[in-house]
Amino acid sequence: MNNLLKKIIPVSDFSKNVLTLTTGAAVAQIIPIALSPILSRLYSPQEFGVFSIFIAIASILGSIATLRYEMAIMLPDNNKDAFNVVAVSIILSFIISLIVFVGIFFLNDEILNFTHQKGVYEYVYFIPLCIFSIGIYQTFNYWSTRLQSYKNNAFSRIAQTSFTGIINIIYGVLQKGTLGLVLGNIGGQIIAALVLAFKAMSQSKTYLKFISQKKIKYTIARYKAHATINTLHVLLDNILSYGISFLLVFFFTDAIVGFYSFSFRILKAPLSIIGTAMSQVFFQQANELYNSNQSIRNLILSIYKKQFLIGIIPFLILFVFAPVLFSFIFGKQWTEAGEVTQILAPWIFLNFLVSPVSSLPVIVNKQKQGFLITLADILLKTAAIAIGGYYHNYVIAFLLLSSSGCLLIIFDLFWYYHIAKPINIIERR
Protein backbone atom coordinates (compact mmCIF):
# COMPACT_ATOMS: atom_id res chain seq x y z
CA MET A 1 0.00 0.00 0.00
CA ASN A 2 2.77 2.44 0.92
CA ASN A 3 4.73 1.75 -2.28
CA LEU A 4 1.65 2.24 -4.43
CA LEU A 5 0.74 5.52 -2.76
CA LYS A 6 4.31 6.82 -2.95
CA LYS A 7 4.08 6.58 -6.73
CA ILE A 8 0.90 8.66 -6.69
CA ILE A 9 1.79 11.11 -3.92
CA PRO A 10 5.23 12.80 -4.03
CA VAL A 11 7.20 12.33 -0.81
CA SER A 12 7.06 15.37 1.51
CA ASP A 13 6.23 15.99 5.15
CA PHE A 14 2.57 16.26 4.19
CA SER A 15 2.71 13.10 2.10
CA LYS A 16 4.61 11.11 4.73
CA ASN A 17 1.99 11.98 7.34
CA VAL A 18 -0.81 11.12 4.92
CA LEU A 19 0.90 7.82 4.09
CA THR A 20 1.12 6.91 7.76
CA LEU A 21 -2.57 7.62 8.33
CA THR A 22 -3.56 6.12 5.00
CA THR A 23 -1.76 2.84 5.64
CA GLY A 24 -3.53 2.47 8.98
CA ALA A 25 -6.85 3.51 7.50
CA ALA A 26 -6.38 1.11 4.58
CA VAL A 27 -5.75 -1.82 6.90
CA ALA A 28 -8.66 -0.71 9.07
CA GLN A 29 -11.05 -0.54 6.09
CA ILE A 30 -9.85 -3.75 4.46
CA ILE A 31 -11.23 -5.59 7.49
CA PRO A 32 -14.91 -4.51 7.15
CA ILE A 33 -14.72 -4.68 3.34
CA ALA A 34 -13.35 -8.23 3.53
CA LEU A 35 -16.04 -9.16 6.04
CA SER A 36 -18.88 -7.58 4.04
CA PRO A 37 -19.62 -10.75 1.99
CA ILE A 38 -19.99 -12.63 5.29
CA LEU A 39 -22.05 -9.95 7.04
CA SER A 40 -24.35 -9.56 4.02
CA ARG A 41 -25.28 -13.22 4.48
CA LEU A 42 -25.59 -13.05 8.28
CA TYR A 43 -27.74 -9.89 8.32
CA SER A 44 -30.72 -8.97 6.14
CA PRO A 45 -31.35 -5.62 4.39
CA GLN A 46 -34.09 -4.98 6.97
CA GLU A 47 -31.63 -5.47 9.87
CA PHE A 48 -29.13 -3.15 8.23
CA GLY A 49 -32.00 -0.69 7.82
CA VAL A 50 -32.83 -0.69 11.53
CA PHE A 51 -29.14 -0.38 12.37
CA SER A 52 -28.76 2.60 10.05
CA ILE A 53 -31.52 4.43 11.95
CA PHE A 54 -29.78 3.70 15.25
CA ILE A 55 -26.40 4.84 13.97
CA ALA A 56 -28.00 7.95 12.45
CA ILE A 57 -29.34 9.03 15.85
CA ALA A 58 -26.07 8.23 17.65
CA SER A 59 -23.89 9.90 15.03
CA ILE A 60 -25.97 13.08 14.84
CA LEU A 61 -25.85 13.52 18.61
CA GLY A 62 -22.26 12.28 18.83
CA SER A 63 -21.12 14.92 16.36
CA ILE A 64 -21.85 17.60 18.99
CA ALA A 65 -20.70 15.59 22.02
CA THR A 66 -17.91 18.12 22.67
CA LEU A 67 -19.80 21.09 21.21
CA ARG A 68 -17.01 21.01 18.60
CA TYR A 69 -14.35 22.17 21.05
CA GLU A 70 -12.19 19.25 19.89
CA MET A 71 -11.62 21.21 16.66
CA ALA A 72 -9.99 23.97 18.74
CA ILE A 73 -7.32 21.58 20.05
CA MET A 74 -5.24 22.41 16.97
CA LEU A 75 -5.49 26.19 17.39
CA PRO A 76 -3.55 27.30 20.54
CA ASP A 77 0.09 28.35 20.15
CA ASN A 78 1.31 25.96 22.87
CA ASN A 79 0.42 22.50 24.14
CA LYS A 80 -0.36 23.72 27.66
CA ASP A 81 -3.34 25.74 26.43
CA ALA A 82 -4.29 23.03 23.95
CA PHE A 83 -4.51 20.43 26.73
CA ASN A 84 -7.05 22.60 28.52
CA VAL A 85 -9.14 22.34 25.35
CA VAL A 86 -8.81 18.57 25.68
CA ALA A 87 -10.12 18.81 29.26
CA VAL A 88 -13.07 20.95 28.16
CA SER A 89 -13.93 18.46 25.41
CA ILE A 90 -13.90 15.49 27.80
CA ILE A 91 -16.08 17.30 30.36
CA LEU A 92 -18.60 18.31 27.69
CA SER A 93 -18.71 14.75 26.30
CA PHE A 94 -19.75 13.46 29.72
CA ILE A 95 -22.34 16.22 30.25
CA ILE A 96 -23.93 15.81 26.80
CA SER A 97 -24.09 12.01 27.21
CA LEU A 98 -25.74 12.40 30.61
CA ILE A 99 -28.30 14.87 29.21
CA VAL A 100 -29.15 12.44 26.41
CA PHE A 101 -29.56 9.58 28.92
CA VAL A 102 -31.97 11.63 31.01
CA GLY A 103 -33.84 12.69 27.88
CA ILE A 104 -34.22 9.08 26.74
CA PHE A 105 -35.45 8.05 30.19
CA PHE A 106 -38.24 10.61 30.19
CA LEU A 107 -39.03 10.71 26.45
CA ASN A 108 -38.76 7.06 25.40
CA ASP A 109 -42.32 6.92 24.03
CA GLU A 110 -41.78 10.07 21.97
CA ILE A 111 -38.58 8.55 20.55
CA LEU A 112 -40.55 5.49 19.43
CA ASN A 113 -43.12 7.70 17.69
CA PHE A 114 -40.38 9.77 16.05
CA THR A 115 -38.38 6.87 14.63
CA HIS A 116 -41.42 4.74 13.69
CA GLN A 117 -39.12 1.84 14.61
CA LYS A 118 -39.74 -0.64 17.41
CA GLY A 119 -36.41 -2.21 16.48
CA VAL A 120 -34.50 1.01 17.18
CA TYR A 121 -36.48 1.54 20.38
CA GLU A 122 -34.88 -1.61 21.83
CA TYR A 123 -31.41 -0.04 21.63
CA VAL A 124 -31.97 3.60 22.62
CA TYR A 125 -30.18 3.20 25.97
CA PHE A 126 -27.00 2.35 24.10
CA ILE A 127 -27.02 5.80 22.49
CA PRO A 128 -25.50 7.79 25.45
CA LEU A 129 -22.60 5.34 25.66
CA CYS A 130 -22.09 5.66 21.93
CA ILE A 131 -22.11 9.48 22.17
CA PHE A 132 -19.56 9.51 24.99
CA SER A 133 -17.19 7.15 23.17
CA ILE A 134 -17.43 9.31 20.02
CA GLY A 135 -16.59 12.44 22.03
CA ILE A 136 -13.58 10.84 23.72
CA TYR A 137 -12.33 9.39 20.44
CA GLN A 138 -12.62 12.69 18.57
CA THR A 139 -10.91 14.57 21.40
CA PHE A 140 -7.85 12.35 21.58
CA ASN A 141 -7.80 11.94 17.81
CA TYR A 142 -7.22 15.69 17.43
CA TRP A 143 -4.78 15.79 20.33
CA SER A 144 -2.79 12.98 18.75
CA THR A 145 -2.87 14.85 15.43
CA ARG A 146 -1.58 18.01 17.14
CA LEU A 147 1.33 16.00 18.54
CA GLN A 148 1.78 14.53 15.04
CA SER A 149 1.50 11.03 16.54
CA TYR A 150 -0.08 9.73 13.37
CA LYS A 151 0.83 6.11 14.09
CA ASN A 152 -1.41 6.24 17.16
CA ASN A 153 -4.31 7.50 15.04
CA ALA A 154 -3.75 4.72 12.53
CA PHE A 155 -3.50 1.97 15.15
CA SER A 156 -6.72 3.09 16.85
CA ARG A 157 -8.64 2.73 13.58
CA ILE A 158 -7.31 -0.79 13.04
CA ALA A 159 -8.31 -1.74 16.59
CA GLN A 160 -11.77 -0.26 16.03
CA THR A 161 -12.67 -2.12 12.85
CA SER A 162 -11.09 -5.38 14.05
CA PHE A 163 -13.15 -5.45 17.24
CA THR A 164 -16.30 -4.36 15.41
CA GLY A 165 -15.89 -7.16 12.86
CA ILE A 166 -15.39 -9.80 15.54
CA ILE A 167 -18.53 -8.78 17.43
CA ASN A 168 -20.57 -8.54 14.21
CA ILE A 169 -19.66 -12.07 13.16
CA ILE A 170 -20.15 -13.64 16.60
CA TYR A 171 -23.62 -12.14 17.06
CA GLY A 172 -24.49 -12.78 13.42
CA VAL A 173 -23.71 -16.49 13.77
CA LEU A 174 -25.80 -16.52 16.95
CA GLN A 175 -28.60 -14.92 14.89
CA LYS A 176 -29.02 -11.96 17.24
CA GLY A 177 -29.98 -9.66 14.37
CA THR A 178 -29.51 -5.90 14.66
CA LEU A 179 -28.11 -6.26 18.19
CA GLY A 180 -24.89 -7.65 16.72
CA LEU A 181 -24.45 -4.60 14.48
CA VAL A 182 -25.19 -2.19 17.35
CA LEU A 183 -22.84 -3.83 19.87
CA GLY A 184 -20.12 -4.20 17.25
CA ASN A 185 -20.24 -0.50 16.44
CA ILE A 186 -20.21 0.61 20.08
CA GLY A 187 -17.52 -1.88 21.09
CA GLY A 188 -15.24 -0.83 18.25
CA GLN A 189 -15.70 2.85 19.07
CA ILE A 190 -14.89 2.28 22.75
CA ILE A 191 -11.76 0.28 21.92
CA ALA A 192 -10.54 2.99 19.51
CA ALA A 193 -11.17 5.71 22.12
CA LEU A 194 -9.33 3.75 24.83
CA VAL A 195 -6.36 3.07 22.57
CA LEU A 196 -5.99 6.75 21.68
CA ALA A 197 -6.64 7.95 25.23
CA PHE A 198 -4.06 5.56 26.72
CA LYS A 199 -1.35 6.41 24.20
CA ALA A 200 -2.10 10.13 24.29
CA MET A 201 -2.06 10.35 28.08
CA SER A 202 1.23 8.45 28.29
CA GLN A 203 2.72 11.17 26.08
CA SER A 204 1.05 14.09 27.88
CA LYS A 205 1.41 13.56 31.62
CA THR A 206 3.44 16.75 31.96
CA TYR A 207 0.47 18.84 30.74
CA LEU A 208 -1.98 17.62 33.41
CA LYS A 209 -0.67 20.09 35.98
CA PHE A 210 -1.53 23.01 33.71
CA ILE A 211 -5.28 22.23 33.80
CA SER A 212 -7.19 24.61 36.07
CA GLN A 213 -10.73 25.85 36.55
CA LYS A 214 -9.66 29.36 35.53
CA LYS A 215 -8.03 28.16 32.30
CA ILE A 216 -11.00 25.96 31.48
CA LYS A 217 -13.37 28.93 31.80
CA TYR A 218 -11.03 31.01 29.64
CA THR A 219 -10.86 28.24 27.04
CA ILE A 220 -14.65 27.93 26.87
CA ALA A 221 -14.98 31.69 26.32
CA ARG A 222 -12.12 31.95 23.84
CA TYR A 223 -13.44 29.26 21.51
CA LYS A 224 -17.15 29.81 22.05
CA ALA A 225 -17.69 30.15 18.28
CA HIS A 226 -17.19 26.40 18.06
CA ALA A 227 -20.05 25.87 20.51
CA THR A 228 -22.35 28.30 18.73
CA ILE A 229 -21.79 28.62 15.01
CA ASN A 230 -19.74 25.50 14.32
CA THR A 231 -21.84 23.18 16.50
CA LEU A 232 -25.04 24.18 14.72
CA HIS A 233 -23.23 23.84 11.40
CA VAL A 234 -21.96 20.32 12.05
CA LEU A 235 -25.29 19.30 13.59
CA LEU A 236 -27.11 20.30 10.43
CA ASP A 237 -24.37 18.70 8.34
CA ASN A 238 -24.83 15.39 10.14
CA ILE A 239 -28.61 15.68 10.00
CA LEU A 240 -28.09 16.05 6.27
CA SER A 241 -25.82 13.00 6.05
CA TYR A 242 -27.65 10.67 8.43
CA GLY A 243 -31.10 12.23 8.23
CA ILE A 244 -31.43 10.70 4.79
CA SER A 245 -32.11 7.41 6.57
CA PHE A 246 -35.01 9.00 8.49
CA LEU A 247 -36.51 10.37 5.29
CA LEU A 248 -36.12 7.06 3.48
CA VAL A 249 -37.78 5.06 6.25
CA PHE A 250 -40.63 7.62 6.31
CA PHE A 251 -41.32 7.37 2.56
CA PHE A 252 -40.17 3.82 1.82
CA THR A 253 -39.31 0.57 3.67
CA ASP A 254 -36.64 -0.77 6.02
CA ALA A 255 -35.18 -2.73 3.10
CA ILE A 256 -34.67 0.45 1.03
CA VAL A 257 -32.93 2.05 4.00
CA GLY A 258 -30.81 -1.09 4.26
CA PHE A 259 -29.86 -0.91 0.58
CA TYR A 260 -28.87 2.73 0.97
CA SER A 261 -26.86 2.20 4.18
CA PHE A 262 -25.06 -0.86 2.77
CA SER A 263 -24.32 1.00 -0.46
CA PHE A 264 -23.01 4.01 1.46
CA ARG A 265 -20.91 1.65 3.60
CA ILE A 266 -19.11 0.40 0.48
CA LEU A 267 -18.82 3.80 -1.20
CA LYS A 268 -17.53 5.39 2.00
CA ALA A 269 -14.55 3.04 2.16
CA PRO A 270 -12.33 5.19 -0.11
CA LEU A 271 -13.36 8.25 1.92
CA SER A 272 -12.26 6.53 5.12
CA ILE A 273 -9.04 5.14 3.70
CA ILE A 274 -7.68 8.24 1.97
CA GLY A 275 -9.99 11.19 2.66
CA THR A 276 -9.89 11.03 6.45
CA ALA A 277 -6.09 10.80 6.48
CA MET A 278 -5.80 13.73 4.09
CA SER A 279 -8.28 15.70 6.19
CA GLN A 280 -6.37 15.29 9.46
CA VAL A 281 -3.04 16.33 7.99
CA PHE A 282 -4.61 19.15 5.95
CA PHE A 283 -6.18 20.67 9.05
CA GLN A 284 -2.84 20.75 10.84
CA GLN A 285 -0.81 22.13 7.92
CA ALA A 286 -3.47 24.54 6.62
CA ASN A 287 -3.75 26.04 10.08
CA GLU A 288 0.01 26.63 10.14
CA LEU A 289 -0.08 28.29 6.71
CA TYR A 290 -2.99 30.50 7.71
CA ASN A 291 -1.34 31.60 10.96
CA SER A 292 1.79 32.58 9.00
CA ASN A 293 -0.39 34.48 6.49
CA GLN A 294 0.50 32.19 3.58
CA SER A 295 -1.83 31.01 0.84
CA ILE A 296 -3.48 27.62 1.28
CA ARG A 297 -4.45 27.40 -2.38
CA ASN A 298 -1.49 25.31 -3.54
CA LEU A 299 -2.16 22.79 -0.79
CA ILE A 300 -5.84 22.61 -1.78
CA LEU A 301 -5.07 22.12 -5.49
CA SER A 302 -2.56 19.44 -4.60
CA ILE A 303 -5.18 17.56 -2.59
CA TYR A 304 -7.79 17.86 -5.35
CA LYS A 305 -5.31 16.37 -7.83
CA LYS A 306 -4.24 13.54 -5.52
CA GLN A 307 -7.82 12.64 -4.61
CA PHE A 308 -8.82 12.57 -8.28
CA LEU A 309 -5.94 10.29 -9.28
CA ILE A 310 -6.58 7.92 -6.40
CA GLY A 311 -10.37 7.73 -6.71
CA ILE A 312 -11.21 7.88 -10.41
CA ILE A 313 -10.64 4.20 -11.28
CA PRO A 314 -12.44 2.61 -8.26
CA PHE A 315 -15.44 4.92 -8.66
CA LEU A 316 -15.64 4.30 -12.40
CA ILE A 317 -15.70 0.56 -11.79
CA LEU A 318 -18.54 0.95 -9.27
CA PHE A 319 -20.42 3.31 -11.59
CA VAL A 320 -20.37 0.75 -14.42
CA PHE A 321 -20.42 -2.64 -12.70
CA ALA A 322 -21.89 -2.13 -9.19
CA PRO A 323 -25.11 -4.22 -9.62
CA VAL A 324 -23.21 -7.21 -11.01
CA LEU A 325 -20.46 -6.93 -8.40
CA PHE A 326 -22.89 -6.62 -5.49
CA SER A 327 -24.93 -9.62 -6.64
CA PHE A 328 -21.82 -11.79 -7.03
CA ILE A 329 -19.94 -10.70 -3.91
CA PHE A 330 -22.71 -10.05 -1.39
CA GLY A 331 -25.54 -12.24 -2.67
CA LYS A 332 -28.54 -11.70 -4.92
CA GLN A 333 -30.58 -10.03 -2.18
CA TRP A 334 -28.15 -7.08 -2.43
CA THR A 335 -28.46 -6.49 -6.20
CA GLU A 336 -30.66 -3.46 -5.60
CA ALA A 337 -28.00 -2.06 -3.27
CA GLY A 338 -25.64 -2.26 -6.24
CA GLU A 339 -28.11 -0.27 -8.34
CA VAL A 340 -28.26 2.37 -5.59
CA THR A 341 -24.43 2.41 -5.52
CA GLN A 342 -24.35 2.99 -9.27
CA ILE A 343 -26.60 6.04 -8.90
CA LEU A 344 -24.75 7.53 -5.93
CA ALA A 345 -21.20 6.94 -7.22
CA PRO A 346 -20.73 10.36 -8.96
CA TRP A 347 -21.91 12.24 -5.86
CA ILE A 348 -19.65 10.25 -3.51
CA PHE A 349 -16.69 10.65 -5.88
CA LEU A 350 -17.01 14.44 -5.81
CA ASN A 351 -17.43 14.25 -2.04
CA PHE A 352 -14.20 12.23 -1.99
CA LEU A 353 -12.44 15.11 -3.76
CA VAL A 354 -13.65 17.85 -1.45
CA SER A 355 -13.91 16.14 1.97
CA PRO A 356 -10.24 16.55 3.01
CA VAL A 357 -10.48 20.35 2.83
CA SER A 358 -13.95 20.69 4.36
CA SER A 359 -12.45 22.02 7.61
CA LEU A 360 -11.17 25.13 5.79
CA PRO A 361 -14.12 27.39 6.81
CA VAL A 362 -13.21 26.76 10.47
CA ILE A 363 -9.58 27.71 9.85
CA VAL A 364 -10.32 30.92 7.91
CA ASN A 365 -13.34 31.86 10.04
CA LYS A 366 -15.97 31.38 7.34
CA GLN A 367 -18.30 29.21 9.42
CA LYS A 368 -21.34 31.41 8.74
CA GLN A 369 -21.02 31.01 4.96
CA GLY A 370 -20.42 27.29 5.37
CA PHE A 371 -23.53 27.08 7.52
CA LEU A 372 -25.63 28.64 4.74
CA ILE A 373 -24.26 26.12 2.23
CA THR A 374 -25.22 23.31 4.59
CA LEU A 375 -28.75 24.71 4.88
CA ALA A 376 -29.04 24.72 1.08
CA ASP A 377 -27.80 21.14 0.97
CA ILE A 378 -30.39 20.03 3.52
CA LEU A 379 -33.21 21.62 1.51
CA LEU A 380 -32.03 20.01 -1.75
CA LYS A 381 -31.64 16.54 -0.23
CA THR A 382 -34.99 16.72 1.55
CA ALA A 383 -36.72 17.82 -1.65
CA ALA A 384 -35.04 15.01 -3.61
CA ILE A 385 -36.30 12.25 -1.32
CA ALA A 386 -39.72 13.86 -0.86
CA ILE A 387 -40.23 13.99 -4.65
CA GLY A 388 -39.22 10.34 -4.94
CA GLY A 389 -41.56 9.50 -2.08
CA TYR A 390 -44.41 11.40 -3.75
CA TYR A 391 -44.01 9.21 -6.83
CA HIS A 392 -43.39 6.09 -4.69
CA ASN A 393 -40.17 5.53 -6.60
CA TYR A 394 -36.89 5.26 -4.71
CA VAL A 395 -34.88 5.35 -7.96
CA ILE A 396 -36.13 8.89 -8.61
CA ALA A 397 -35.23 9.82 -5.04
CA PHE A 398 -31.66 8.58 -5.38
CA LEU A 399 -31.19 10.14 -8.83
CA LEU A 400 -32.26 13.54 -7.52
CA LEU A 401 -30.21 13.04 -4.36
CA SER A 402 -27.06 12.30 -6.35
CA SER A 403 -27.48 15.05 -8.94
CA SER A 404 -28.23 17.79 -6.40
CA GLY A 405 -25.26 16.64 -4.32
CA CYS A 406 -22.97 16.82 -7.36
CA LEU A 407 -24.01 20.38 -8.18
CA LEU A 408 -23.45 21.66 -4.65
CA ILE A 409 -20.06 19.96 -4.27
CA ILE A 410 -18.88 21.49 -7.55
CA PHE A 411 -19.73 24.85 -6.00
CA ASP A 412 -17.81 23.86 -2.85
CA LEU A 413 -14.70 22.96 -4.86
CA PHE A 414 -14.50 26.49 -6.23
CA TRP A 415 -15.54 28.19 -2.99
CA TYR A 416 -12.83 26.48 -0.91
CA TYR A 417 -10.22 27.61 -3.41
CA HIS A 418 -11.59 31.17 -3.28
CA ILE A 419 -11.45 31.50 0.53
CA ALA A 420 -7.98 29.92 0.75
CA LYS A 421 -6.18 33.14 -0.18
CA PRO A 422 -4.05 34.82 2.53
CA ILE A 423 -5.63 37.79 4.32
CA ASN A 424 -4.13 40.46 6.51
CA ILE A 425 -4.55 40.65 10.26
CA ILE A 426 -7.12 43.47 10.10
CA GLU A 427 -9.39 41.40 7.85
CA ARG A 428 -9.18 38.44 10.25
CA ARG A 429 -10.65 40.57 12.97
Cα separation, 250 vs 4, whole angstroms: 44
- Check residue 113 and give its pLDDT: 66
Q: Rounded to 5 degrees, what are φ and ψ at 349? A: -65, -45
Residues whose CB falls within 8 Å of the CB of residue 304, separated by 6 or more in sequence, listed in order: 353, 354, 413
Enter the pTM of the model.
0.72
Instruction: Give ∠ CA 399-49-314 in degrees, rounded to 5.
Output: 50
**What does the pLDDT read at residue 242?**
80
Tell me how far apart the alpha carbons of residues 421 and 429 are, in angstroms, rounded to a whole number. 16
Q: How many CB atoms lie within 10 A of CB 21?
A: 24
Confidence of residue 415 (pLDDT cuts 50, 70, 90): very high
- pLDDT tens profile 396-405: 999 999 999 9
> For residue 402, how many C-alpha atoms fall within 13 Å in the half-sphere facing its CB?
21
pLDDT, one tens digit per residue, over 52-64 is 888 888 989 998 8
Distances (CA, A) of 401 to 39, 245, 250, 269: 27, 12, 16, 20
- Could you state, in order of their start, the residue ranges of all structural domains in the chain? 2-428
What value does the CA radius of gyration of the chain take, rounded to a whole number of Å? 21
| Contact between residue 371 and residue 313 where contact means Cβ atoms under 8 Å apart | no
**Which of 208-212, 244-248, 275-279, 398-402 is predicted most confidently?**
398-402
Q: Residue 64 phi/psi, 5° resolution?
A: -115, 20
CA distance 177 to 18: 37
Distance CA(429)–CA(424), nearest Å, equals 9
d(CA 254, CA 258): 6
